[in-house]
Structure 1
Amino acid sequence: MIALDVEAVRAFVAIADLGGFTRAAEALGATQSAISVKLKRLEARLGHRLVERTPRSVRLSAQGEVFLGAAREFLAAHERAIASLAATRCRFALGIAAHVAGPEIPALLARLNAHDPSLTIEVRLENSRDLIDAFDRGEIDAAIIRREDDRRDGEVLAPEHFGWFASPTFEQRPGEPIRLAALAPSCGVRDIATRALDAAGLPWIEVFLGGGSSVVTAAVSAGLALSAFSRRLAPAGAVEVGERFGLPDLPSSEIVLHSTLTDAKSKEALRILASAFRDHRIAVPSFVG
């Protein structure tokens, strides 16, 4: 079986279309001698002279005339093959912890789409624990979460520092349990807060439990309770009250990326998303998930 060199065939077609070696070389960004070498290689491979040259003219031989149509089809098939690979849609499932996702996420995904329209990302929003479990089970290909427990794997994207926040009007009456606004028991930041209070021997009571992040924010903003937030993501108008009420320091955490993606397109997409996260630090209350 004869194997054809794509560049040699391209040189032949350029010579036929442009009527000479000089113009073909200019069109292909090559030297005239390089075009000549490619043509000789193709003629040797086929066993036929394709171009007849005289001091005054360049024209196709009879075999060249016959081969020209097939050569065009060969190049077109080659271009279609390359285009089909470039247009192949890349799909992967990405989990983003609810305290990471926010108003900026659509803009970041749009940025990825502009970078590579063939990319399809299935986004799953849940709490960090559920997402890392799903990642370990192979249900998602990548996850951006807050680091859980003592697990040390994953690529660190950003630090997460917590504090106690409340409205400037919030009053904690002496002798009464601390009124804590928190989400459901599965909330990781809730665990950080309650463990710290228990270790310090401070009594507490939960209010507005499980009402959703908007309810928790409303309770804090209204001065009805305090809550643990990321220092960079506390509700507008809230102030840090840990020192004021003698509350314990909260341990820091990290936002990490877990991924099993190996193909170049998916890894590049994830790199862009991770870079954007590092740059912009998506501003969403971190008491979710």
Structure 2
Amino acid sequence: MVTLDVESVQAFVMVADLRSFTRAAETLGTTQAAISVKLKRLEDRLGFRLIERTPRLVRPSVRGAAFLCAARDFIAAHERAIAGLSASPRRLAVGFVDHVAGAEFPTLLARLHAHDPALVIEVRIDVSRNLIDAFDKGVLDAVIVRREDDRRDGEVLTQEHFGWFAAPGFTWPEGTPLRLASFAPTCLERIMATRTLDAAGIAWTETFVGGGIPAIVAAVSAGLAVAPLTFRVAPAGVVEVGKELGLPPLPSSEIVLHSTLTDARSRAALKILATAFREHRVV
């Protein structure tokens, strides 16, 4: 009968999730050598290789990927048993800037829950400024926001790249202000776009303001205006028209994770969330 130990299975799941022995060791508060020993012990007990490792790539093997779901269930059962010893459940309050929480958002939360089913996840979606205020006041344990000021702390997850998007065939009559659709007056996209246009000496007028991404997308798709959007959220049916219209390029924006959590389990959960976030951005 094959018996499994929690630490070995946890090491495998962490390496499979983070695709890195180094990050797995950092997250679990141990060394790469210890992770390798635990993984080798688990592979010997199961009788097959779980992780394929090359100088440039770490990933589950075919059989490792098949075992991963059962391994998660094994860890989850252990976590539930441990959680049952505590009178109060573990809570993680996380804030996401509204424009960052895209179509992959449910997948990110599912990945986090699969990693630690005993974790009670509370989610808040808002603009960056409100989330940072809540984080600084201790209302939120962690936030994923756009860097909008000179604040330099936090872990940079990725960069968002912006473009000028409009419906195919959008026209900008010569001698008239550029028709602009933008978000709320305090949002990053509007501030960035209007400052860029002003610096280039391009006259503009807002024909549609506010309403969130769906409303802005609708206005752009209808051919009413040009909008500053990230390439990630730009919908099908619109095109980037910056070069065609002679508009100045828009600066990119950093997506940053802020957290004050110090306990190993919460930091491990955030590592999983950050890794999944990066993976989806690459895809």
Q: When the two structures are superposed, what TM-score results if normalisation uses the length of structure 2?
A: 0.67
Tell me, in whole angstroms, the C-alpha distance in 2 between the residues paired with 1:159 and 1:152: 15
- 2:145 partner amino acid: I
Give the share of equivalent positions with the same residue, in percent: 64
Q: How does 1:1-289 map onto structure 2 within 5 Å?
A: 84-85=84-85, 89-281=89-281
Tell me, in whole angstroms, the C-alpha distance in 1 between the residues paired with 2:238 and 2:130: 29
How far the C-alpha of 1:84 sits from its partner, in A, is 4.2
> Could you say what the CA RMSD is over the residues aligned between the two structures, in angstroms?
2.0
Tell me, in whole angstroms, the C-alpha distance in 2 between the residues paired with 1:274 and 1:167: 34
Tell me, in whole angstroms, the C-alpha distance in 2 between the residues paired with 1:233 and 1:82: 40
Q: 3-state SS of the aligned residue for 1:213? A: helix
Cα distance change on mapping 1:238 and 1:121 into 2, 3 Å = same
Q: 3-state SS of the aligned residue for 1:206? A: strand
Q: 3-state SS of the aligned residue for 2:243? A: coil
Q: 3-state SS of the aligned residue for 1:169? A: coil
Cα distance change on mapping 1:83 and 1:91 into 2, 3 Å = closer
Q: Which residue does 2:43 correspond to in 1?
A: none
Cα distance change on mapping 1:264 and 1:172 into 2, 3 Å = same
How far the C-alpha of 1:116 sits from its partner, in A, is 1.6
How far the C-alpha of 1:100 sits from its partner, in A, is 1.0
Cα distance change on mapping 1:119 and 1:94 into 2, 3 Å = same
Tell me, in whole angstroms, the C-alpha distance in 1 between the residues paired with 2:113 and 2:269: 9
Tell me, in whole angstroms, the C-alpha distance in 2 between the residues paired with 1:82 and 1:275: 25
How far the C-alpha of 1:131 sits from its partner, in A, is 0.8
User: Higher mean Cα deviation, 135-144 or 110-119?
Assistant: 110-119
Asked which structure has the greater CA Rg, the reply is 1
How far the C-alpha of 1:87 sits from its partner, in A, is 8.8
How far the C-alpha of 1:210 sits from its partner, in A, is 1.5
Contact 1:160-1:230 at 8 Å conserved across structures: yes
Cα distance change on mapping 1:174 and 1:83 into 2, 3 Å = closer
Contact 1:104-1:282 at 8 Å conserved across structures: no
Contact 2:111-2:276 at 8 Å conserved across structures: no
How far the C-alpha of 1:132 sits from its partner, in A, is 1.1
Unaligned ranges ≥5, structure 2: 1-80
Q: How many residues were matched structurally?
A: 203
Tell me, in whole angstroms, the C-alpha distance in 1 between the residues paired with 2:228 and 2:190: 7
How far the C-alpha of 1:187 sits from its partner, in A, is 1.2
Unaligned ranges ≥5, structure 1: 1-80, 284-289
Tell me, in whole angstroms, the C-alpha distance in 2 between the residues paired with 1:184 and 1:234: 18
